[in-house]
Structure 1
Amino acid sequence: MACNKENCVCPKTDCENHGNCCKCINNHREKDSLVYCMREIAEKK
């Protein structure tokens, strides 16, 4: 979706999953890591 690409805040623009939220989230879940766009929210908790 174009809206995902336009609103993706991840600085890794060369990543193949940049702007593809579903793929990005699934990739991070496999690695047991947090997606960039959720890190600030997680740190506040």
Structure 2
Amino acid sequence: MPGQLIELTSGALAVLAVLIWLAFLSARAVIRDHRRRTNIKRKARQHS
């Protein structure tokens, strides 16, 4: 029984780590996209 519990816990931790990694990557992509959009808006304002 303890061995099974350890396997379950390590599996849950692995899944959790993957989910956190995916969330981190998507958050970074959103922040980068937001910065790019604000830069484009600033450039558009300077031209007009």
Q: Which one has a bigger Cα radius of gyration?
A: 2
**Structure 1 and Structure 2 fold alike (TM over 0.5):** no
Q: Relative contact order (C-alpha < 8 Å, sep 6+): which is higher?
A: 1
After TM superposition, the score normalised by the length of structure 1 is 0.31
